[in-house]
């Protein structure tokens, strides 16, 4: 099966299995909150970020409040997410830049998003896909691992985030890209787990090029 057909089959089956391709960060439709939560999720679980952000957003409810906050004060709220000093610096910095350069609104394009402190392609793609409904591949750990195992990109070995993003962008239907990445997260937690994938119960086992336990 060529890569585009394989990608279409994978997207189709995962859509059937997970009809609601929802982001596991509870950002309540607010682009700035998703940006903040995306930054906090580095080396931290989405569950932890959701818990931490309840108090964080109560204290700093919008981009203006965060832009004016003291870095040390932000750090106190996000301590349990790890890397709290650099994350606090980025949250303040990105909020300040959004206020001063973008009129308080999160930019809707990759180039501008990448100028925000702490924002790399993964977070930028999350914003583009979830907020602005643009084609966007979020190459996180699940996406990288699963797409390599299935044979969508690489030779069974995970590629870099940039190479994974580029490879999937070329073979996955633009309208399906963002949702597929959310489905990879759900599928990666339940079935195609990092250490012990459940290949015998997998709906992709007949088309996966690198199934492990069957």
Cβ of residue 2: shortest distance to ligand SF4, in angstroms? 18
- The Cα–Cα gap between 126 and 139 comes to 9
141 is a contact residue toward ligand SF4 (CB under 6 A): no
Residue matched to tokens 């596991």: 24
DSSP string, 169-192: HHHS-GGGHHHHHHHHHHHHHHTS
Comparing CA positions, the residue from 73, 52, 66, 74 lying closest to residue 94 is 66
- The Cα–Cα gap between 59 and 182 comes to 29
Cβ of residue 208: shortest distance to ligand SF4, in angstroms? 3
Spot the catalytic one: 90, 92, 122, 130: 122
- 185-204 residues in contact with ligand SF4 (CB under 6 A) are 191-192, 197-199, 202, 204
Residue matched to tokens 């709906």: 203
- Token pair belonging to 100: 């001063």
Site string for ligand SF4, 16-55 (x = CB under 6 A): ----------------------------------------
Number of residues that bind ligand SF4 (CB under 6 A): 14
Annotated catalytic residue 140: yes
143 Cβ neighbours under 8 A, 6+ residues apart? 137, 164, 168, 181, 184, 185
212 is a contact residue toward ligand SF4 (CB under 6 A): yes
Residue matched to tokens 């759900």: 186
Residue from 92, 122, 182, 211 in contact with ligand SF4 (CB under 6 A):
211
Spot the catalytic one: 140, 155, 163, 213: 140
Annotated catalytic residue 112: no
Sort 186 into a burial class: Cβ within 10 Å, 0-12 / 13-18 / 19+. Answer: middle
142 is a contact residue toward ligand SF4 (CB under 6 A): no
Residue from 24, 50, 141, 205 in contact with ligand SF4 (CB under 6 A):
205
Q: Which residues bind ligand SF4 (CB under 6 A)?
A: 149-150, 191-192, 197-199, 202, 204-205, 208, 210-212
């Amino acid at each position: 099966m060529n890569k585009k057909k394989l990608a279409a089959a994978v997207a189709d089956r995962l859509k059937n299995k997970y009809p609601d391709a929802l982001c596991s960060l509870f950002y309540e439709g607010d682009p700035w909150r998703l940006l903040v939560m995306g930054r906090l999720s580095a080396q931290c679980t989405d569950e932890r970020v959701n818990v931490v952000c309840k108090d964080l957003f109560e204290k700093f409810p919008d981009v203006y409040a965060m832009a004016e906050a003291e870095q040390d004060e932000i750090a106190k709220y996000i301590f349990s997410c790890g890397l709290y000093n650099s994350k606090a610096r980025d949250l303040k910095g990105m909020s300040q830049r959004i206020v001063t350069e973008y009129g308080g609104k999160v930019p809707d394009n990759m180039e501008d998003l990448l100028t925000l402190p702490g924002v790399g392609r993964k977070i930028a793609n999350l914003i583009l896909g979830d907020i602005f409904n643009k084609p966007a591949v979020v190459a996180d750990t699940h996406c990288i691992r699963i797409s390599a195992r299935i044979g969508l990109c690489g030779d069974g070995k995970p590629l870099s985030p940039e190479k994974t993003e580029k490879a999937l962008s070329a073979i996955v239907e633009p309208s399906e890209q963002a949702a597929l990445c959310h489905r990879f997260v759900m599928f990666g937690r339940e079935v195609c787990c990092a250490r012990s994938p459940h290949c015998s119960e997998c709906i992709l086992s007949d088309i996966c090029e690198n199934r492990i336990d069957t």
